[in-house]
């Protein structure tokens, strides 16, 4: 089953999706942030359309695993809204450095600055691949 990941930002939400085996992550799309409830509904629709069985939301944390910023608290609030709207399991996952890694990848590929907005979807891919590589349980393994 597939897993959907979200890199929540102030202006844009990057989304990524895993392959059906839950092994490889790939960029899906970028949504413009509107309001928490509207964002959660749009993400839940995409999760349903792509057959996702779980949603992973990126959240910046410190060395003790505690949210570090206002943006991290917003990620937790988005995760809660997604739980209510989608009915799917929603996991918060450390996203520290994902945007930096995504932008670096775009620079190395020589991508034009104006197209780097899609880096939000690449950042979501970094988050999701980290989640998958950590051996986190796949949806069918969750009780």
pLDDT (tens digit per residue) in 24-69 = 999 999 999 999 999 999 999 999 999 999 999 998 877 776 767 7
pTM comes to 0.83
Query: What value does the mean pLDDT of the chain take?
Result: 84
User: Superfamily assignment of 2-136 in CATH?
Assistant: YqgF/RNase H-like domain (3.30.420.140)
The rounded percent of the chain whose pLDDT value lies above 90 is 57
Q: Assess contact for 136 and 91: CB atoms under 8 A.
A: yes
pLDDT for residue 141 is more than 50: no
């Amino acid at each position: 089953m597939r897993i959907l990941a979200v890199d929540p930002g102030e202006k844009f939400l990057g989304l990524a999706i895993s392959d059906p085996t839950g092994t490889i992550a790939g960029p899906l799309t970028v949504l413009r942030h509107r309001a928490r409830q509207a964002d959660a509904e749009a993400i839940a629709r995409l999760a349903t359309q792509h057959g996702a069985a779980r949603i992973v939301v990126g959240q910046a944390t410190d060395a003790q695993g505690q949210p570090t910023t206002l943006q991290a608290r917003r990620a937790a609030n988005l995760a809660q809204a997604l739980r209510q709207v989608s009915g799917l399991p929603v996991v918060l996952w450390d996203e520290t450095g994902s945007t930096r890694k995504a932008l670096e990848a775009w620079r190395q590929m020589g991508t034009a600055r104006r197209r780097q907005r899609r880096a939000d979807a690449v950042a979501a891919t970094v988050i999701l691949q980290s989640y998958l590589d950590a051996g986190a349980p796949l949806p069918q393994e969750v009780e």
